[in-house]
């Protein structure tokens, strides 16, 4: 029981405690090292664009909210710079990014309409990368599963997810397998390629 409690304590990392030195600390070098070591990323987000795919403007708008919400030092420029640095793993070779997002994520605004339009345009660009697979689950579609929260699977060794107050890291093999099963179930309702592009373009047209 003591070992289990210690594992839970290490897995449940409070944002407020981590962010006392700013959001840059939350996004810091420990996560960059993980990104560099990971070969296959499986990413599910239900209401935001994944950090690896965010534009500077979108990221700044989103992180500004969390800085105010958590009452942390305002280091938004440094935090965005860390996030942009992490995005270099998209181009380093030898990695695959299998991303799955809900249509709601395309429609959740951070910042202005121009910021959202730029972010959707960025998604269209990234879809052309050979190592990126982007699936979108349309609204009002029949589906097998509903994800209760966004989560990231790093290879088969770690699952990371966030709540409004904490980040949670899961390393138990059986739990990781369950998240992998959930990811596959969610994929069955997604559209890809031309259909996914058409969905993004349709949302873009509505911004005007």
61 with 6: CB under 8 angstroms?
Answer: no
Q: What is the pTM of this model?
A: 0.86
pLDDT digits (tens, 9 = 90+) for 124-181: 999 999 999 999 999 999 998 988 899 999 999 999 988 777 778 899 999 999 999 9
d(CA 58, CA 36): 23
Name every residue whose Cβ is closer than 8 Å to that of residue 92 and which is 6 or more positions away in sequence. 36
Task: Please report, for residues 2, 13, 53, 72, 84, the alpha-carbon distance to residue 19 in angstroms, rounded to integers and kept in the order given.
Answer: 27, 10, 23, 6, 19
The mean pLDDT of the chain is 86
CATH number for the domain running over 11-207: 3.30.870.10
d(CA 100, CA 95): 16
Q: Higher model confidence: residue 190 or residue 161?
A: 190
């Amino acid at each position: 029981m003591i070992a289990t409690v210690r594992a839970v304590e290490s897995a449940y990392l409070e944002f407020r405690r981590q962010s006392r030195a700013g959001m840059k600390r939350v996004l810091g070098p420990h996560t960059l090292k993980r990104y560099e070591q990971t070969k296959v990323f499986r990413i599910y987000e239900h209401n935001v664009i994944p950090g690896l795919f965010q534009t500077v403007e979108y990221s700044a708008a989103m992180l500004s909210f969390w800085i105010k919400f958590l009452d942390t030092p305002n280091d938004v420029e440094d935090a965005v710079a860390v996030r942009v640095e992490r995005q270099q793993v998209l181009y380093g070779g030898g990695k695959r990014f299998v991303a799955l997002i809900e249509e709601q994520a395309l429609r959740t605004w951070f910042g202005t309409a121009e910021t959202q339009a730029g972010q959707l345009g960025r998604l269209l660009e990234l879809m052309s990368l050979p190592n990126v697979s982007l699936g979108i689950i349309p609204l009002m579609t029949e589906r097998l599963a509903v994800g209760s929260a966004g989560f990231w699977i790093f290879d088969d060794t770690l699952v990371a997810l966030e709540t409004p107050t904490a980040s949670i890291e899961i390393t138990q093999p059986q739990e990781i397998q369950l998240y992998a099963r959930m990811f596959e179930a969610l994929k069955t309702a997604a559209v890809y390629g031309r259909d996914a592009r058409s969905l993004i373009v349709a949302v873009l047209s509505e911004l005007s």
